[in-house]
Amino acid sequence: MIISIASGKGGTGKTTLATNLALSIGKCQLLDCDVEEPNSHIFIKPRLIRSRSVSLPVPKVDDKKCTYCGKCSEVCQFSALAVIRKNVLVFQELCHGCGACSILCPVDAIWEVEREIGVMEIGQAGDVHFIHGLMRISEAMSPPLIKAVKNEAEKDMVTIIDAPPGTSCPVIEAVKDSDFCVLVTEPTPFGLNDLVLAVEMLRILEIPFAVVLNRSDVGDDKVDEYCEKEDIPILMKIPMDRELAEAYSEGIPFVEAKPEWKEKFADLYNNIIRMV
């Protein structure tokens, strides 16, 4: 069972939901795939077991063999290669490491070198097996690192994925293959706007989903109205609560600050199981 936690925009409480859910359901694993800004570890506080570098194979061109035919730049879907007069320019930051250019080079002038894009850390906190990716500063492309984090996960274990915010490639890489996705939002015009985009994304991906409304007692009723109209279940409402906000600012999960929330998150999990 893979449950991803996503949101159309940042700052809605996605990590709060992912971490508290993981801490409330017994043995499970939490993958923090928000690799540009991972912060689940602040709440989970895992004991680090191991780490490893994650890299991508990127092309290098042998000028002595190259005939400057341009086939490599034609095949590259990501504009990571350009042949300009007697020069092959490689833009490593754009390369997805697909290997197409080296396979198609007619004179074997391309070989591959590894380029580090980030680091993966694996740890344990009580019943929670924890993995997160840390993207290298100045790196532009997070999907390969997200993919590496997911590949490192234990199979056949209940898995919670803390996805990056938004609706672009990194989110799709994080949520695809999920059995269920929870969209976290807030009752504001921005929250609704980004929720609509996230709903469209999940419908295209054909992933079942529901909504959790954070800071549910501020803002307006538009998100409720939208969910009712679209027949989208709202599985939980988390009110604005000063004590919870203070706990959050100190890196203390809800379920530790207010243990009665543990049952609510366990109920949320059981509802998801029923829906799947």
Q: 55 and 117 in contact (C-beta within 8 Å)?
A: yes
Q: Does 266 bind ligand SF4 (CB under 6 A)?
A: no
CB of 170 to ligand SF4, least distance (A): 17
Structure tokens at 18: 């992912």
What letter does residue 93 receive in the DSSP assignment? G
Which residue matches tokens 């993207």? 135
In this complex, which beta carbon is closest to ligand SF4, that of residue 113 or of residue 197?
Answer: 113
Q: Does 78 bind ligand SF4 (CB under 6 A)?
A: yes
Closest CA to 253 of 8, 3, 51, 21: 21
Beta bridge partners of 30: 130, 160
- Which range of residues in 59-67, 208-216, 238-246, 260-268 is near ligand SF4 by CB under 6 A? 59-67
| Interacting residue with ligand SF4 among 42, 82, 98, 257 (CB under 6 A) | 98
What whole-number distance in Å separates Cα of residue 58 and Cα of residue 92? Answer: 7
In this complex, which beta carbon is closest to ligand SF4, that of residue 99 or of residue 219?
Answer: 99
CB of 93 to ligand SF4, least distance (A): 11
| Interacting residue with ligand SF4 among 45, 60, 96, 176 (CB under 6 A) | 96
In this complex, which beta carbon is closest to ligand SF4, that of residue 76 or of residue 128?
Answer: 76
Q: Which residues contact 114 (CB under 8 A, 6 or more apart)?
A: 55, 56, 57, 58
Name all contacts of 80-87 with Cβ < 8 Å and 24+ positions apart. Answer: none
CB of 171 to ligand SF4, least distance (A): 21
Q: Which residues bind ligand SF4 (CB under 6 A)?
A: 59, 61, 66-72, 75-76, 78, 80-81, 83, 88, 95-101, 105, 107, 109-110
